[in-house]
Structure formats: structure tokens, C-alpha cells
A and B are shown apart, each in its own frame.
Chain A
Amino acid sequence: MPTNDGSLRNYALSHDLMSMAGAPAVYHCHHFNLFLDQTIDDALGNTDGRKLRFAAAREASHDFLRGLFARLRPTTPAEKIQLATETIAKMGHGRLSISADANGGTAVGEFLHYGYGWAQKYGHRVRCRTPQDAFAAGFAAAALEVTFDLPPSVEAAETQCVAMRAPQCQFSLTKGAPAPRQTSLLASDVLRFARPAFDGQDEQQIATIAKGLRDFTGQVGGDERGLVQAFGVFVTMHLACYYNRIAYGALGELEKRAPTSVPVLESLLRESGHVCVFNTFGGILLSPEWEGMVGRPKTPREVVVGALAIARALGFGHWTLEDFAPNERLVVRAPATYESVYFLARHGKAARPNEYFLQGAVLAIAQLAHRVKWNEKVELTQEFYDSLFHGVVPWKAEQSKATTLGHEYSEVVVTKVA
């Protein structure tokens, strides 16, 4: 990811929260990205789901691009658009070419993370009927708005998508009616809501591994197609506000439309945590890079320690090990997560524990630690995933504390089911 200019990627090291050009950022893989976008559309329907994802992308990208331009100071519109598209490519989102002015234009996407990732993951099994690149659409819209100093008013429609078997993704950018602009949420804004940091068990080891991983990811960026293939997945450095806006936005909307469906959406948001940990954390733990840096895990504790280090390096927050009794209990605490600081900054106090990614991820860490035979040949296949997470799961997770409820830390307790 772009760190040739060291000021672009930054970590608030005490809290392991990351930013890119001042905008809250995290790393996530294509499995998580596709699953979350799909969940939003399932909750709100394809049309409203896409609208929310586009709006979230435009909003998050606006803050990001303003910070990027302030730091690197492109002068002409052409320079600004080029900088925007080159940076997003280095972040692993694919190649986007924008031909537009203040009144609109077109954009072409090749190897866009979402559309291409969808084709790679699902394309041989099911037919895609809706375009997948709402994030790129929102980004393109924001690029025009920030370049030409426009209000939130550019609409971007994806008219062709590689997920739908088109040769490339195409967008039409048009000027629409101005919409109210949401208050910016920069890293400096959300960090104010982080509680004081603390350490847990095996702190030195977790911190050392996390540093090594951060150093490694700092050297990794989008290839000539703007994709980052690492650890067996496509990785993006992504805008945390995008994820949070769509997740909490969908929840808020569903609470109004169909409150009885909210628990199902919550369960799928937790599931996204399972998907990420299984595929990305699992992929990292099985990678030659991990083998060289840390060594293949041999015990459940080593898996847990490794996973917490991975979470920190990916910018999820300062996840600490509070308690671990193999085959009995795992307790993870954090003074802040990328979910909690956003929610507090945007919405204030929550009504219930609502760091769904954290909840799902910690359960998945317990599963990886105990139900994967790391000393044998491991295949993290869909079938294996189903066997771990579908049907009888011998672990249960509860978020017992949440900074969004005013507690001093967020805590997820995972216990073995009798």
C-alpha cells in the first residue's frame, strides 16, 4: 500500500487504528467485501442497497480525497483525477479511468476489486444480474466533486460490469440534484472516542508480530492492474467509514421497515467476521510469509496470539488477550475498534452491543484455534467453512462490554458449549 510518502498510511499505534490520508482505513479481503455488500442488498433490496453503498462510498471517498489532495497538492483537475485513480489502484481497488469534467462524463474500470473479485469467486457458479462496483461508482463521483469543488451531486451509474460478463466495467457520471453533505469523519474525529489503551496477555509477542506484519504490508501495493493478491486472497486497503456507514445504515433502515428482520441482519454482520477471519486470517497463518516471519502455529494459543496480531496489523483495533483457557474460554478486549469509534462519532451511544464484526471475528478465532489441525495439511475450503460455522458450533460468543454503551472497553467472551 502506498507508503513511499510515509504520511499517507498512518497508525495510531496505541490503538492499532489505521488511516490513509487522514481517513479511517482498514485492510479487508474480497471475501469479506463481497459478503458485506451482498448482505446490504439482501437487507434493503438490490435498488436501495446499491443506493446506500453508493452514498457511503461517495461520502467516505470525499473525506479521503480531500485529505489526499491536501497532502500531495495536485494543482490541475487532470492531476487531481490521476492522483485519485492511481492511489485507489495502489490500495488494491483496481484500475479506474475517469474522463469527465464538472458536468459529468464516463469512467472505465478494469480489474475493479468488487466486480473482478465477484467474477473470480462466484462467476463459475451463478450468474450475476446486478453490477457490483458501487464503491468504485461512489469513488468516481467523489473524485469529480472534490476536483471541481461540487456539492454531493454527481451520480454514477454502472452500465456494464465484469461480474455480469462484460469485458470491462463502465460508468456514466452525471450531475444530479445536490444532497446534504454528512459531517466529515476523519481519523482525528473518530480517535477522540477511543478509550485509554491497555495491554493484555502475551502483549510483547502480539505487538512484535503486529509490527512485522505492518512493515510487510507497508511494502505491498496494487500491481499494474491495481489489485493486491496476497495470502491467497485479494486484499484492499479500504475506507472504514464505507463499511460502517453501510452496516449501521442498513440496520437503521431495517429497524424502521422490518424490525423483526433485524436479528437476521445482525447475524449476517457477525457472519462477515467469520468470513474474514477464516479466509484472511487463515490465509495469513498458512502463508509462507507467516511461516518465515513467525512459524507455523502449533498450539491453540499460538493461533490466538497470531490472530490478535493480524487484527492489529489490519487496523481493526488494539485487540488484546484478556483470558484464554484452551477448550474452554477466550476473552478479547479492545479500548476501541474501527466499528465502535465510528458509531460513537456518528450516532452516539448505542442501545445494545453492536460491534458485529468483532463479535463474529472473535468466535471465528476460537474456531480456528481449536478446530483446525495446523500440524496437518490444511485446506480452508468452503466445505470446511460450512463444517465449522454451519450446524452445531461448539462455541458461543457474547459481547459482554461495549464502548458504544459507555464501557471502558469492548469485550467479547467466547465459551465452549457443553
Chain B
Amino acid sequence: METNLKDLVAGVPSLRAVFVTAMPDCLLFDSYTAPDETWSADEAASYFGDLVRANRQGLKALKSWSSEMQVTIESSDVLLVLRELRGDFVVTLAFRRDVPLGMVRMYTKQLVERLDESLPRLEAKARPRGVRVREFLEKYAPDAHAALARVALRTGLQLELLRRPESLDEAQVERFETAVKDILGLDTLAL
């Protein structure tokens, strides 16, 4: 589904790219890159989603989290600004490094407002239960790197299937959920 990003970002000449990542699955929803850029949108999108999620948790631990949180990353040739949008999306704006920070903030505000109006609203409840179970597991499991493999062993479900939890049937989701409860030591999952 496209959001006509090219039109939305018109008038911001210092913008190198825009990536819109759908949360919580960290999948690329839409992207725009300036004509002379060669970035891989899919790969970047998933990392940006994870980055915002990690920062959100870190700030929560410091009791400093707010929904207006913004992550800024500066490197030698690019300035990235990441903003959560309604919990449905993470928007990543990539500016040329030589743009003054004040201008970046102004452009960011404008672009986020435009995107807020243009991007669709994804209903959390419509997301498959298997997807929500997986998100819960990845959020809370210790040894997160091994979490899905552990579930695969406990349930007998194939790892490839667990990586696409939206395709699990009801019985499989139930097995998935039971394994996650066992791993986390919980009676129920607050999905």
C-alpha cells in the first residue's frame, strides 16, 4: 500500500530518504529514497523498528519515556531521525548531514504531521493472535536470540512457521502460547 511519499516530502531538498516501518512486526510499509541513493529499504526498515523499540524500553526503565520520543543518529554523512507514530509505525527520516539541527527539527515536525494524516490506521486487535504472542515473547524472553528455537522445540512447530506466526492455525497458536507461558513462567499473557 503506498502513501505517495514522493509528494509528501516535496519541498524538503535535504531529505535523502524516508522509511515507514509497520510495527510491531518491523516490516517495511513504504519508502522513498532520493534519486541518487542506493539504500536497501527492506533491511533498514526492520532495524529502525527494533531501534525505536529498544530505546523506548530503555527510557521506560529510566522513567523518561513519553510518546513524543525521538531518536536521532548522527554519522559522518547522514542524520537519521526516528519517530514513533501512533504505535502503528516508526518513521525514519534521513537527512544530509550538513543540515542544521534546527532545520531538521522543523522539517521533521512538518513531515510527521503530513504522514500522520496520510498513513492508514492499523487496528491492533485485527493483528493475528500468533503475531501478538510472538511479539510478547520477543519483548520479554530472556535469551531472546534463542526464544523461537526454544518454542520450536517445545511445540514441535517448525521454526519457519513460527517466523510467520500470522499463518498459524488456532491449534498451533494455542501450542505457541502455552510454550511462551512456560518459558516466561506466566499463567496468562497480557496481549
Question: Which residues of A pack against B, CB within 8 Å?
Answer: 35, 38-39, 42-43, 45-46, 121-122, 125-129, 258, 260-261, 264-265, 267-268, 271, 382-383, 385-386, 389-390
Q: With A42-B150, A125-B140, A386-B145 in contact, do A258 and B185 touch (Cβ < 8 Å)?
A: no
A35–B143 touching, CB < 8 Å:
yes
Partner of A264, one of B54, B145, B149: B149
B145–A42 touching, CB < 8 Å:
no
Residue of B nearest to A250 (CB): B153
B182–A129 touching, CB < 8 Å:
yes
**For window 12-36 of chain B, which residues contact chain A by CB distance below 8 Å?**
none
Partner of B142, one of A39, A46, A125, A383: A125
Most buried by A among B146, B149, B158, B184: B146
Residue of B nearest to A257 (CB): B156
A383–B54 touching, CB < 8 Å:
yes
Shortest C-beta distance, A277 to chain B (Å), equals 14
Shortest C-beta distance, B133 to chain A (Å), equals 16
Q: Which residues of B contact A43 (CB under 8 A)?
A: 153
A42–B153 touching, CB < 8 Å:
yes
Partner of A121, one of B54, B142, B146, B154: B142
Residue of B nearest to A121 (CB): B142
B156–A267 touching, CB < 8 Å:
no
Q: Which residues of A contact B143 (CB under 8 A)?
A: 35, 38, 382
B144–A386 touching, CB < 8 Å:
yes
B150–A268 touching, CB < 8 Å:
yes
Q: Which residues of B contact A128 (CB under 8 A)?
A: 185
Q: Which residues of A contact B182 (CB under 8 A)?
A: 46, 129
Asked if B152 is at the interface of the complex by the 8 Å CB criterion, the answer is: yes
Bitwise interface map of B from 157 to 191 toward A, beta carbon under 8 Å scored 1, else 0: 01100000000000000000000001111100000
B185–A126 touching, CB < 8 Å:
yes
Q: How far is the CA of A121 from the CA of B184 in the complex (A)?
A: 14
Shortest C-beta distance, A132 to chain B (Å), equals 12
A264–B152 touching, CB < 8 Å:
yes
Most buried by A among B54, B150, B158: B150
A271–B146 touching, CB < 8 Å:
yes
B156–A261 touching, CB < 8 Å:
yes
Partner of A129, one of B145, B146, B149, B185: B185
Q: Which residues of A contact B184 (CB under 8 A)?
A: 126-127
Q: Which residues of A contact B185 (CB under 8 A)?
A: 126-129
B142–A122 touching, CB < 8 Å:
yes
A268–B146 touching, CB < 8 Å:
yes
A127–B186 touching, CB < 8 Å:
yes
Partner of A126, one of B140, B149, B150, B152: B140
5 contacts between A and B (CB under 8 A): A121-B142, A268-B149, A386-B144, A390-B144, A390-B145
Q: With A46-B182, A260-B158, A383-B54 in contact, do A265 and B153 touch (Cβ < 8 Å)?
A: yes
Q: Which residues of B contact A268 (CB under 8 A)?
A: 146, 149-150, 153
Most buried by A among B145, B152, B184, B185: B145
Q: A126-B142, A261-B153 are in contact. List 6 more A-B contacts (CB 8 A).
A: A42-B154, A129-B185, A258-B156, A260-B158, A382-B143, A386-B144
Q: How far is the CA of A125 from the CA of B85 in the complex (A)?
A: 28
Tell me the dominant secondary structure on chain A's binding face: helix
Residue of B nearest to A271 (CB): B146
Q: Which residues of A contact B140 (CB under 8 A)?
A: 125-126
Q: How far is the CA of A46 from the CA of B143 in the complex (A)?
A: 18
Q: With A42-B150, A46-B182, A127-B185 in contact, do A264 and B159 touch (Cβ < 8 Å)?
A: yes
Bitwise interface map of B from 33 to 47 toward A, beta carbon under 8 Å scored 1, else 0: 000000000000000
Residue of B nearest to A263 (CB): B159
Q: How far is the CA of A271 from the CA of B183 in the complex (A)?
A: 18
Shortest C-beta distance, B191 to chain A (Å), equals 17
Q: With A129-B182, A129-B185, A383-B54 in contact, do A264 and B142 touch (Cβ < 8 Å)?
A: no
Q: How far is the CA of A228 from the CA of B23 in the complex (A)?
A: 44
Shortest C-beta distance, A120 to chain B (Å), equals 12
Q: How far is the CA of A240 from the CA of B146 in the complex (A)?
A: 24
Q: Which residues of A contact B152 (CB under 8 A)?
A: 261, 264
Q: How far is the CA of A390 from the CA of B145 in the complex (A)?
A: 6
Q: How far is the CA of A386 from the CA of B53 in the complex (A)?
A: 15
Bitwise interface map of B from 126 to 148 toward A, beta carbon under 8 Å scored 1, else 0: 00000000000000111111100
Q: How far is the CA of A310 from the CA of B40 in the complex (A)?
A: 41
B146–A385 touching, CB < 8 Å:
no
Shortest C-beta distance, B152 to chain A (Å), equals 5
Residue of A nearest to B141 (CB): A126
Partner of A267, one of B141, B149, B154: B149
Q: How far is the CA of A124 from the CA of B156 in the complex (A)?
A: 29
Q: With A122-B142, A389-B145, A390-B145 in contact, do A264 and B186 touch (Cβ < 8 Å)?
A: no
Q: Which residues of B contact A383 (CB under 8 A)?
A: 54
Residue of B nearest to A31 (CB): B143
Most buried by A among B54, B153, B159, B185: B153
Q: How far is the CA of A390 from the CA of B147 in the complex (A)?
A: 11
Most buried by A among B54, B149, B159: B149
Q: Which residues of A contact B186 (CB under 8 A)?
A: 127
Residue of B nearest to A390 (CB): B145
Q: Which residues of B contact A385 (CB under 8 A)?
A: 145
Q: How far is the CA of A155 from the CA of B43 in the complex (A)?
A: 53
Q: How far is the CA of A39 from the CA of B146 in the complex (A)?
A: 10
Shortest C-beta distance, B140 to chain A (Å), equals 7
Q: How far is the CA of A315 from the CA of B52 in the complex (A)?
A: 43
Shortest C-beta distance, A372 to chain B (Å), equals 17
Residue of A nearest to B186 (CB): A127
